[in-house]
Amino acid sequence: MKFLLEVTVDEGKSAQDPAGELGRILRYWGGNLHHYALEPGDGSAVYDSEYREVGAWRIVAS
């Protein structure tokens, strides 16, 4: 399986501090992955610290 994460960092807080926002997103979603079976088809929207949707992660078959 593959874990794919796509995040746009060219607006809002993400543009002001890309490394900080990406770090926060990775920490948050890393801590929440245990809520998912992590099977192909699983995934969720990703939000920045302003609660704006900035991307998504998903599991796909390899």
What is the domain range of residue 37? 2-60
3-state secondary structure of 21: helix
pLDDT, tens digit, 9 for 90 and up, residues 17-27: 889 989 998 99
Question: What's the domain count of the chain?
Answer: 1
Tell me if 25 sits within 8 A of 48, measured CB to CB: yes
Tell me if 43 sits within 8 A of 3, measured CB to CB: no
Q: Tell me what pLDDT residue 1 has.
A: 93
Provide the residue count of the chain. 62
Token pair of 62 as six digits: 């390899």
Global confidence as pTM:
0.80
pLDDT, tens digit, 9 for 90 and up, residues 25-57: 899 888 888 999 999 999 999 998 888 999 999
